[in-house]
Amino acid sequence: MSVDVAWAVEWVRRSAQTIAEHREELIELDRLIGDGDHGENLDRGFRAVVAKLDALDEPPAQIGDVLKLVATTLMSTVGGAAGPLYGTAYLRAAKATATDELDSAGVVALVEAALDGIVARGKATTGEKTMVDAWSPAAEAAVHAADAGGSPADVLAAAAQAAAEGAQATIPLAATKGRASYLGERSMGHLDPGARSTELLLAEAAAAAA
């Protein structure tokens, strides 16, 4: 499947599905090192996104239109840190995708823009046990896959794989940003909920293009 507007819609619908399926897991991860709201917040947000997609009179013309709808909806319905962080990620990604189809470089630009948005908003770098630890390797892997001549679907698959590995690599880390940083070293040994939700979302980006 090409990475076009239909892909973007499919990505969003699959995202809502996977977040709903992993709601309890995300709540539990956040309960261990935060306040336990991550799964509930994201589930509420993506349900609202799907409701807005369903209510559109006309199909979106550009990939960026779909991602902008996600951004504005998450910003207004998801509380906590993740609402503004994901909202900014999707907003920047939307600005990078004002087109009806992405080539491999375009997919790289989408992932890099999302990462840039999260970093601009949250000021975290890698190694601080946040969603940046999933998005940053995802962006790097996307660049490598595109440089190696990969298709847009290959680039998404590489990004998703790297996000999964990056999320797992948050387990031994001590959090130094966000609510989990209040726990200091007691946050060690736990998977970061935002890195896990990033892994889930990027897995669906890849699956929607496969």
Q: Where do contacts with ligand ADP occur on this chain (CB under 6 A)?
A: 30, 34-35, 37-38, 41, 80-82, 85, 118, 122-124, 130-132, 177-179, 192-195
The residue among 27 and 145 lying less far from ligand ADP, judged by its C-beta, is 27
Partner that binds at residue 67, options Mg ion, ligand ADP, none, CB closer than 5 to 8 Å by kind: none
Both tokens assigned to 124? 């975290």
Find the angle CA(137)-CA(148)-CA(198) to the nearest 5 degrees. 25
The answer to whether the CB of 196 falls within 8 A of the CB of 130 is no
Q: Which residues pair with 4 in a beta bridge?
A: 101
**Cβ distance to ligand ADP smaller for residue 56 or 120:** 120
Q: Closest Cα partner for 161 from 178, 137, 183, 143?
A: 137
Place of tokens 């387990």: 171
Least Å distance between CB 118 and ligand ADP?
6
Shortest spacing between CB 131 and ligand ADP, in angstroms: 4
Q: Are 103 and 155 in contact (CB under 8 A)?
A: no
User: Tokens standing for 166?
Assistant: 């990056």
Q: Which is nearer to Mg ion, 19 or 209 (CB)?
A: 19
Burial of 54 (0-12, 13-18, 19+ CB in 10 A): exposed
Q: Which residues within the stretch 65-84 sit at the binding site for Mg ion (CB under 5 A)? A: 80
C-beta nearest to ligand ADP: residue? 194
Nearer to ligand ADP, 59 or 76 (CB): 76
Binding partner of 118, given ligand ADP, Mg ion, none, CB within 5-8 angstroms per partner class: ligand ADP
Among residues 59 and 189, whose Cβ is nearest to ligand ADP? Answer: 189
Name the minimum Å distance from CB 23 to ligand ADP. Answer: 12
Closer to ligand ADP at the Cβ: 144 or 177?
Answer: 177
> Could you tell me which of 85, 8, 3 has the C-alpha nearest to residue 45?
85
- Considering only residues 34 through 63, tell me which ones interact with Mg ion, judged by CB under 5 A: 34-35, 37-38
Q: In whole angstroms, what is the distance from residue 105 CA to residue 107 CA?
A: 5
> Pick from 68, 136, 57, 66: which is nearest to 101 by CA?
66
Q: Which residues bind Mg ion (CB under 5 A)?
A: 30, 34-35, 37-38, 80
